[in-house]
Amino acid sequence: MDNYVTLYNRLLSRCPAVGEVLSQQLINDSWRTLQAKSDWSWRRRSFTFAPPNLYQTGTATTNVGAGNPTLITGVGTAWTASMIGSQIRIGGLLYPYYTIVGWQSPTAILIDSPWAGPDVTGQVYQILQCYFPVPADFGHFYLAVSIKDGYRIYTTITEAELGLLDPQRTNTGQTYAFAYKDTVAQFGGIVGPIIPVGATGATPISTTATGFSYVANATYIIQIVGGGASGVATFQWMRAGQVGFTGPIVTDVAPITLIDGVQIYFPVGTYNANDLFIINCQSLITQGVPRYEAWPAPTFNGYLYPCIYIAKEYDLTPQNPSLPPFVANRGEILLEMALEKCATYPGPDTEHPNPYYDLRLAELHRRKVDDMMIEFGNADQDVGVELVGYQNLSYAGPFAGPFGVFYDGAYQQSHGPTF
């Protein structure tokens, strides 16, 4: 089975004049060309959009006049950190949705952009998830369905069309369409080490599984509440600027997730009551991913939307050299594509010509690639059937029973998949 390293070394052995760097680039160019040729079966991935329940307990107030245009405060609310990424609409149809990007307390959250317009006080509101990010390797939708309602979700509708259908977004409940909304930043910042502040007992350790995900640099404060061994001692924590601590929480030798990707664990040792620690974290935007609007916005966590998508093209690296098994078993096609490119490369200059340079040889490689591509495509169709324009079903006669309808061409035409 081939991989990135074996392929560029095979290319070097056939055409040493291109050098290692260019041979790596030629293999990657060929790999991207192959990926882009088709929605190959090995590019299919899946995920499920699982929206939360609608939350609308209590009232909400904006704070533009107080100098905090992104702060929303509540009365009678029990907002949680799990609401980060959901949308909030305050005051009904006259106001747009904002995305929640930070949680400070059960009565204080942060939105992604300053509140537009005058302050509203003590208004009804809705928190739900209208927009959802897709996986980082998402290219485009292959299929999305509504499990509860038993139908296919439209994935080719646009925001402009939704603007005609429902400009105020008055509809909520059952989702019929996913429309591309925008590309949002993803955060993968640094969680710093724990710094003791006059502590006399054992020191916990900070870690992260996802990277720091808050929108700005922040400091987290950890205080031991009840002393004792790990698993017995308790602690509380807060992000600097919040109105109060969260806890007490029992310590553990396994990582405990606080918020914003920050985790902490307590190695074996004795922790003393009132010991104080801080963690300084640095925000960092790592990349952006597409975000889609679910319309109408779902309001119940019983609505699940399984999706199959085609992964976007990517480069191979020495650190990540593996090819999908289907391609690794047919690496010769990538080698031939790269050799075609080698045969069109005259060399860096006249004093260092490429002996492999021959346009007639390039044409031979191209024809070989064309032949191999036919076999490659046929083999892929054996794995993931896609190019089916009709079905040649045997005559069933009077014994077809309830399945006879499937032998009728009219049924095929009226019930076939739509793309």
Residue 387 has pLDDT above 70, yes or no: no
Are residue 295 and residue 161 in the same domain, yes or no?
Answer: yes
> What is the distance between the alpha carbons of residues 52 and 361, in angstroms, rounded to a whole number?
59
* 305-311, strands of its sheet edge to edge: 44-49, 305-311, 138-146, 151-152
Are residue 239 and residue 118 in the same domain, yes or no?
Answer: no
Mean pLDDT calculated for residue range 90-97:
93
Are residue 302 and residue 329 in the same domain, yes or no?
Answer: no
| DSSP assignment string, 157-202 | --HHHHHHH-TT---BSS--EEEEEEEEEEE-BEEEEEEEES--S-
Are residue 149 and residue 165 in the same domain, yes or no?
Answer: yes
Are residue 303 and residue 318 in the same domain, yes or no?
Answer: no
Are residue 68 and residue 159 in the same domain, yes or no?
Answer: yes
Does residue 399 form part of some domain?
Answer: no
Using pLDDT thresholds of 50, 70 and 90, give the confidence band for residue 255. Answer: very high
Are residue 78 and residue 152 in the same domain, yes or no?
Answer: yes
Residue 362 has pLDDT above 80, yes or no: yes
Mean pLDDT calculated for residue range 159-188:
89
Does residue 404 form part of some domain?
Answer: no
Residue 243 has pLDDT above 50, yes or no: yes
CA 298 to the chain's CA centroid: 19
Contact 251, 271 (CB under 8 A): yes
Mean pLDDT calculated for residue range 42-52:
95
pLDDT of 373:
94
Mean pLDDT calculated for residue range 407-411:
47
Residue 77 has pLDDT above 80, yes or no: yes
Give the phi and the psi of residue 178 in degrees, each rounded to 5: -115, 125
Does residue 409 form part of some domain?
Answer: no
Residues 6 or more apart whose CB falls under 8 angstroms from that of 356 comprise 14, 15, 17, 18, 339, 342, 343, 345
Nearest-10 crossing angle of helices 332-343, 359-383: 160
Q: Total structural domains in the chain?
A: 3
SS3 95: coil
* pLDDT tens-digit series, residues 146-164: 988 888 999 999 999 999 9
Contact 305, 56 (CB under 8 A): no
Q: What torsion do the CA atoms of 21, 25, 28, 32 make, to the nearest 10 degrees? A: 170
Using pLDDT thresholds of 50, 70 and 90, give the confidence band for residue 415. Answer: very low
pLDDT of 259:
84
Are residue 11 and residue 139 in the same domain, yes or no?
Answer: no
Does residue 326 form part of some domain?
Answer: yes
Are residue 62 and residue 171 in the same domain, yes or no?
Answer: yes
For residue 206, give the nearest of 190, 218, 226 by alpha carbon: 190
By residue range, what is the domain housing residue 20?
4-38+314-383
Using pLDDT thresholds of 50, 70 and 90, give the confidence band for residue 388. Answer: low
Residues 6 or more apart whose CB falls under 8 angstroms from that of 383 comprise 41, 42, 326
pLDDT of 149:
85
pLDDT of 391:
46
pLDDT of 390:
46
Q: Cis omega (within 30 of 0) on the bond before 135?
A: no
Residue 385 has pLDDT above 90, yes or no: no
Residues 6 or more apart whose CB falls under 8 angstroms from that of 67 comprise none
Residue 215 has pLDDT above 80, yes or no: no
Domain edge (last residue) among 236, 264, 283: 283
> What is the distance between the alpha carbons of residues 290 and 385, in angstroms, rounded to a whole number?
28
Residue 272 has pLDDT above 90, yes or no: yes
Average pLDDT value over all residues in the chain: 88
> What is the distance between the alpha carbons of residues 145 and 298, in angstroms, rounded to a whole number?
14
* pLDDT tens-digit series, residues 333-352: 999 999 999 999 998 888 88
User: Count of alpha carbons within 13 Å of 339, Cβ hemisphere only?
Assistant: 22
pLDDT of 337:
97
Global pTM reads 0.73
Are residue 305 and residue 163 in the same domain, yes or no?
Answer: yes
Least confident of 5-14, 320-329, 394-403: 394-403
Buried b (16+ CB within 10 A) or exposed e, 157-181: beeeebeeeeeebeebeebbbbbbb
Does residue 355 form part of some domain?
Answer: yes
Are residue 34 and residue 114 in the same domain, yes or no?
Answer: no
Q: Cis omega (within 30 of 0) on the bond before 248?
A: yes
Does residue 344 form part of some domain?
Answer: yes
Helices (H), 173-310: none
Does residue 403 form part of some domain?
Answer: no
pLDDT of 68:
83
Does residue 302 form part of some domain?
Answer: yes
Q: Give the burial class of 293: count Cβ atoms within 10 A of its Cβ; 0-12 exposed, 13-18 middle, 19 or more buried.
A: buried
Are residue 277 and residue 222 in the same domain, yes or no?
Answer: yes
